[in-house]
Chains A and B, each alone.
Chain A
Amino acid sequence: MRWRWLLVLPVALALVLVASASRLQVFWWPEQLHDVTAGRQGEPLEVSDVWEDGDGDDRRRDLTVTLVEVRPATEVEGFDGPEPLAPVAGSAVWEVVLRFEVEPEVPLAGCNVSLVDSRGREAEAGGATLGEASIPGADCEPEGRTGPQYDGSRIEGDRPRPPSYDVSVLVVTADDGEPDRVRLWWEAPDVAEISLSAS
C-alpha cells in the first residue's frame, strides 16, 4: 500500500516547478512586449497604451498611428542642417515615417521604434554613430513642438504639438535584411506592430 505514495511524487515535482516559475511571471513576463496591437502599412491603427505615472497609478493614452512608409534614408540632421548620409559598408539606414493623430496634451516622450526584418531580427532605433554621421534616437514628437512630460512639466521653448503630424525615425540595420514590420512601444507589455505592405 505504501508504494502508492510514489504517485504523489510527480504531482509534487510539477507543483514545485510551477511555484518556482513565479519569478518568471512576476519579474520577466511584464517586461516582455506581449500585448500586441497589430496593423498594416497605410491603415490608421488605434493604439491604447497604458503608462504608469509618478505616483504609480496606471494611466491610459489613446492615439492613432499610421505607418506611412519605410524607405532608405538619404540625409541626417547635422550641426548646420541636413547632411547627406555617406554609406558605410555592411550597414543600411532606414527612414520610418509615422503619422500620429493624437490630442496635443497626451505625453508621448520616450518612444521606442524597431524594425523587424523577414528573418525575425529586430534592430532598434537608438542613437548611434555610423561613419561620420550621428544618427539620433527615436523621437515620436516633431522638433520643437512637444506635449507634456510624464511629470506634467513641459520643455522650455517648445510650442504645443499639433493634433496630427508626421515624424521620421532613423533605424540602423545590417544591409542584408528586408524590413518586414515596425514595432512601436513606450512601456512593456503594450506594443503596436505594423507590417509593411509587400512592395
Chain B
Amino acid sequence: MATRWQHVLGTGLLGLGLLAAGSWVQGWVPDDEDDPGAAPHLRRGAVGDALDLRTATVTVDEVLGSTRVEEFGSELVSPGVWVVVRYTVVASEENTAITFAEMRDDEGRVWGLEGRNSNDCVDSPPGLAAHCTVYVEVPPDALPTLRVRLARLSRDTRFDAVAEVDLGLTRADAATFAAAPTYVVPTATLGDEPS
C-alpha cells in the first residue's frame, strides 16, 4: 500500500513530467505566422505562361537585369543586381491592377516592395491588356532559384490566387546582368502592344 506522501510524490513527478512534455510539444505547434487555412492559392508557371488568377490573367513576358535602373530621371545603383520583370495583366470582370509583388529564392529569402523596389502597374479594364513592370534588387547568388509572385491586393493575399513564376535565371545571368547598361523603366501602358 502506497502511503500518502508517496501519492504526493508521484503526483508531483507526474505533474513535472507533463509540464516538460507540454513545453517540448509547444515547440512543434504552429505559431502565429502559420495560417495554413488562409494560405494563398499559388498558380505556378514559367515565363510566358498565362496564369489565371480568377480576377485577371497574368503573364510574365520578359526578365531582364542590370546593376543600375533609372526611373523618373534618377538612377538607382544596386550592390547586388536589379531583376526587372515585365508582365501583362488582363482583367476578367472589372478593372484590376497587380499591386502585390514579391521575389523568393529556395533559401527562404523574400524580397518585397520595401526599400527601393517598386511595382509600376495600372488598372486593366476587363479584356484590355495592361503592361506593367516590377523591379527588385537581389544578391546575385539568388538568381538561379529566383521566383516572382504577383497578386492583385498588396495588403492582403490570404485566400487569394497568387501567380508564382520561375524566372528561369542561371548563374551566367548574374554576369550578364552585371555587365548590362542602365535599364530605363518604362511606365505602365494599356493596349495590345507593350511600349
Q: With both chains docked as a complex, state the minimum distance between the C-beta of B91 and any C-beta of chain A, in angstroms.
A: 8
Contact A173 B191 (CB under 8 A): no
Residues of A within 8 A of B (CB): 88-91, 117, 120-124, 126, 128-131, 171-177
- Docked Cα-Cα span, A129 to B124, in Å, equals 11
Contacting residues, chain B, for A117 (C-beta < 8 A): 126
Q: With both chains docked as a complex, state the minimum distance between the C-beta of B119 and any C-beta of chain A, in angstroms.
A: 17
Q: Known A90-B128, A172-B128, A173-B125; judge A121-B191 contact (CB<8 A).
A: no
Partner of A177, one of B127, B129, B190, B191: B127
15 residue pairs A–B, Cβ–Cβ below 8 Å: A91-B191, A122-B93, A122-B94, A122-B95, A123-B95, A124-B123, A128-B122, A129-B189, A131-B191, A171-B125, A172-B125, A172-B128, A172-B190, A173-B127, A175-B128
Is B192's CB within 8 Å of the partner chain A? yes
Partner of B127, one of A121, A124, A131: A121
Contact B125 A124 (CB under 8 A): yes
Is B193's CB within 8 Å of the partner chain A? yes
Interface residues of B in 64-78 (CB under 8 A from A): none
Q: With both chains docked as a complex, state the minimum distance between the C-beta of B123 and any C-beta of chain A, in angstroms.
A: 6
Is B92's CB within 8 Å of the partner chain A? yes
Contact A121 B126 (CB under 8 A): yes
